[in-house]
A = this chain, B = another copy of it.
Amino acid sequence: MTPLIDGLQYANWSERIFRQMRAGGVDAVHVTVTYHETFRETVQVIERWNRWFERFPELIFPGRSAADVTRARETGRTAIFFGAQNPSCIEDDIGLVEVLHTLGLRFMQLSYNNQSLLASGCYEDDDTGLTRMGRAVVAEMNRVGLVVDMSHSGERSTLEAIEQSSRPIAITHANPARWHPARRNKSDTVLRALAGSGGMLGFSVYPHHLKGGSACRLQGYCEMIARTADLMGIERVGIGTDLCQDQPDSVVEWMRVGRWTKAPDYGEGSADAPGFPPMPDWFADNRDFGRIAEGLRATGMDAAEVAAVMGGNWLRFFETGFGAAAPGRT
């Protein structure tokens, strides 16, 4: 049976949410563990996860390889795969790529809205592509099996990452700009290059990425997925809800502002609506994936296609994405 995998969540984690994952039959989730945190601060977040793994072993466990998704399904639990939305966690130290991979990191964005040491973010005026360190780090990520994620990066940086990376990359949580021209959504050029290189797009349910925002209807969302599958190939797309359940607005402020400015920055929001937007009524939490699956069937997809989008494609991507590039003898 095909697994159910979410390509990105960043919730205010709790037993309640872990139980909702089980109720929703979610086999694996890529969870964000860090934005602007230093390495040491990121390790503290991993420590918090270790406590949750210790407290709730019947609900969740650390995911390291694609085999853990199968194990999750077989044991009725959810495998948790760590990811970084910004490379602050590796500081200026390429050696931390392997260290964080050993600690469970499986995705890392090269930038988050702003310029980073590695690449430009999608909110910068000028996107100068991958930096010198960016190219070195992509090669190191390729070597150890840490997936390059360009969800919050600029167009040129994204295209260069696709080109530079010897292994397929991911855009774990975004939608096509053609459907909803938000700064965070991706052009057809990016989507075609991503698909052509064997990469994956995870469709976001975060309201700022949706046509109509919080009022977006399920049907429109699912039709967008079907059209994008036509463009990219059905095997290149999955779900990446960007679910930020139960988070206080202070968290979205940290995501946008970090420590890089003293002035407010509203990112995709605005001064009038600085907080997290309300989720669409058809996707409130992990128990609602079945609705998306039904919505996809209603667009005319067959059962195999729906299963591929809901997790089969991510599973295949995990199978080739997370191991060492040249296993060698170690």
A219 contacts the other chain (CB 8 A): no
A231 contacts the other chain (CB 8 A): no
A300 contacts the other chain (CB 8 A): no
Q: Is the CB of A98 within 8 A of B50?
A: yes
Q: Is the CB of A330 within 8 A of B57?
A: yes
- Set of chain B residues within 8 Å of A330, measured between Cβ atoms: 53, 57, 61-62
Q: Is the CB of B57 within 8 A of A329?
A: yes
Please, how many residues of chain A have a CB less than 8 angstroms from a CB on the other chain? 27
Q: Is the CB of B95 within 8 A of A50?
A: yes
Q: Is the CB of B57 within 8 A of A96?
A: no
CA distance A39 to B57 in the complex (A): 27
A15 contacts the other chain (CB 8 A): no
Question: Interface readout for A304-330 with B: 1 if CB under 8 Å, 0 if not?
Answer: 000000000000000000000000111
Closest beta carbon of chain B to A63's beta carbon, Å: 11
CA distance A245 to B97 in the complex (A): 30
Closest beta carbon of chain B to A39's beta carbon, Å: 7
Closest beta carbon of chain B to A122's beta carbon, Å: 31
Q: Is the CB of A328 within 8 A of B96?
A: no
Closest beta carbon of chain B to A200's beta carbon, Å: 27
In this complex, what residue of B is CB-closest to A44?
B95
Q: Is the CB of B43 within 8 A of A39?
A: yes
Q: Is the CB of A93 within 8 A of B47?
A: yes
Closest beta carbon of chain B to A30's beta carbon, Å: 18
A291 contacts the other chain (CB 8 A): no
CA distance A40 to B62 in the complex (A): 23
- Set of chain B residues within 8 Å of A104, measured between Cβ atoms: 102
Closest beta carbon of chain B to A313's beta carbon, Å: 26
A75 contacts the other chain (CB 8 A): yes
Q: Is the CB of B329 within 8 A of A51?
A: no
| In-complex Cβ contact of A329 among B40, B77, B96 (8 A) | B77
| In-complex Cβ contact of A43 among B75, B96, B328 (8 A) | B96
Query: 14 more A-B contacts (CB under 8 A) besides A39-B40, A40-B40, A43-B99?
Result: A39-B43, A44-B95, A46-B99, A50-B95, A50-B98, A50-B99, A51-B95, A53-B330, A57-B330, A58-B329, A61-B329, A61-B330, A75-B329, A77-B329
For this complex, 10 residue pairs linking A to B, each with C-beta atoms less than 8 Å apart, are A39-B40, A39-B43, A43-B96, A43-B99, A44-B95, A47-B99, A50-B99, A53-B330, A58-B329, A102-B104
